[in-house]
């Protein structure tokens, strides 16, 4: 482990040298790559420097304990040895986790799609509930969220697409992809029977033009007149936009804005992220054997979680997590779930390293 850490420190120094060279600013692609790599190892270097300082203090305190005759100084040294020993163990554990193989997408922002599945209006209502849960969670985490597209139903929301930006957003949200099941008594159910509905959540890493350029020769753009239940998305001009990626037959339609240009921009943004996400999922599928036992493999058809309202219970089926605080979780207190998923994944990765 320490050989790896020394290697990271040397790499960090080399990256600092590159950034100190003014000529790097002439090549923005290289500047972005170097800055990004440096940022990705800053935490490792900082903790390793701290570890070496604590280790040195620990050795000094041990020397005092071994050679000092004054009982008061020995007592102080003994206490310091005990405290520093605990700190060393904690720092070593943290460094092990920081050295685990990184998902290159972890630092990215995300685009999230939530769609109603089985269950009619109740599924649409739950889409709204989960969307609100994520928005409240974003507020607690200091993440910024922006609406991209929304399609409302008779009750609730049929589909909502929104972006989330902040620190290491994908590293947290990637575990949300999959089928979410809700069990509760609908407002319209006079017999008090529990109804089961499902929604799907797809979390896509956001990509910029430098990383992935959508070939517009592969895209067909159709313009048509907006329609719907009423409101701002219905007008008398041809402002709705449908874009189709011909090689994959991926279709995105947007009519949220009165401006044709804005609808086109939004539709192309969604399309670009969907195509890039498809590439990511295909790459992950090839690594299935290596990732066995880990969560967040991206299988969108997998039922990952159940929200049981009569029992106030949330169960994440992938890691066997059950929490009886659904009332708080659905209002945005999602941290106990996301932290457990991250911890489980880290534990599985550590197993692989130690084996």
Domain ranges of the chain: 2-98, 110-210+283-354
Phi-psi group of 120: left, alpha or beta (phi > 0 → left; psi -120 to 50 → alpha; rest → beta): left
* Cα–Cα distance list, 139 to 322, 325, 327, 347 (Å): 24, 19, 17, 28
Give the tens place of pLDDT for each residue, 1-20.
Answer: 778 888 888 999 999 899 99
Instruction: Give the residue among 22, 44, 42 at the shortest CA–CA distance from 31.
Output: 22
Report whether pLDDT(233) > 50.
no
Coarse DSSP helix, strand, coil percentages of the chain, rounded to the nearest 5 percent: 50, 20, 30
| Res. 33 pLDDT band, cuts 50 70 90 | confident
User: What CATH number has the domain spanning 2-98?
Assistant: 1.20.58
Residue 307 has pLDDT above 90, yes or no: yes
| pLDDT, position 300 | 58
* Burial category of 142 from C-beta neighbours within 10 Å (exposed 0-12, middle 13-18, buried 19 and up): exposed
Tens of pLDDT, residues 96-154: 888 877 777 888 899 999 999 988 889 999 999 999 999 999 999 999 999 988 888 88
Indicate the class that CATH gives domain 110-210+283-354.
Answer: alpha beta
Pairing of strands 240-245, 219-224: antiparallel
Give the single-character DSSP code of 325: -
Mean pLDDT of 287-299: 52
pLDDT per residue as tens digits for the range 145-191: 999 888 888 888 999 999 999 988 999 999 999 999 999 998 767 67
Strand order in the sheet with 250-254: 219-224, 240-245, 250-254
**If you average pLDDT over residues 38-56, what whole number do you get?**
90
Q: Average per-residue pLDDT in the chain?
A: 84
| pLDDT beyond 70 at 285 | no
Report the predicted TM-score, pTM, of the whole model to 2 decimal places.
0.70
pLDDT at 156: 87
* Residue 242's pLDDT band (cuts 50, 70, 90): confident
């Amino acid at each position: 482990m320490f050989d790896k850490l020394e290697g990271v420190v040397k790499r960090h120094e080399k990256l600092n040298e590159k950034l100190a060279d003014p000529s790097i600013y002439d090549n923005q692609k290289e500047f972005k790559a170097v800055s990004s790599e440096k940022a990705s190892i800053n935490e490792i270097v900082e903790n390793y420097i701290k570890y070496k300082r604590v280790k040195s203090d620990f050795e000094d305190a041990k020397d005092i304990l071994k050679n000092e005759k004054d009982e008061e100084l020995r007592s102080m040294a003994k206490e310091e040895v005990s405290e520093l020993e605990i700190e060393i163990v904690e720092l070593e554990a943290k460094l092990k986790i920081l050295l685990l193989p990184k998902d290159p997408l972890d630092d990215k922002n995300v685009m999230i799609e939530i769609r109603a599945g089985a269950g009619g209006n109740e599924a649409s209502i739950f889409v709204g509930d989960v969307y609100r849960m994520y928005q409240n969670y974003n507020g607690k985490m200091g993440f910024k969220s922006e609406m991209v597209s929304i399609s409302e139903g008779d009750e609730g929301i049929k589909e909502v697409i929104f972006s989330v930006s902040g620190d290491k957003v994908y590293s947290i949200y990637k575990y949300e992809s999959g089928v979410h099941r809700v069990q509760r008594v609908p407002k319209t159910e006079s017999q008090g029977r529990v109804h089961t509905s499902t929604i799907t959540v797809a979390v896509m890493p956001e990509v910029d033009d430098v990383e992935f350029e959508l070939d517009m020769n592969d895209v067909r753009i159709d313009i048509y007149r907006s329609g719907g239940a009423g409101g701002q998305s219905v007008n008398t001009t041809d402002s709705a936009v449908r874009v189709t990626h011909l090689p994959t037959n991926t279709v995105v339609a947007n009519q949220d804005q009165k401006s044709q240009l804005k609808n086109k921009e939004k539709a192309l943004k969604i399309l670009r992220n969907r195509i890039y996400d498809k590439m990511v999922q295909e790459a992950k599928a090839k690594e299935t054997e290596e990732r066995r036992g880990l969560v967040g493999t991206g299988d969108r058809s997998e039922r990952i979680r159940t929200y049981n309202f009569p029992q106030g219970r949330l169960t994440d089926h992938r890691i066997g997590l059950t929490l009886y605080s659904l009332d708080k979780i659905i209002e945005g207190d999602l941290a106990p779930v996301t932290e457990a998923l991250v911890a489980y994944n880290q534990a599985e990765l550590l197993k692989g390293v130690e084996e």
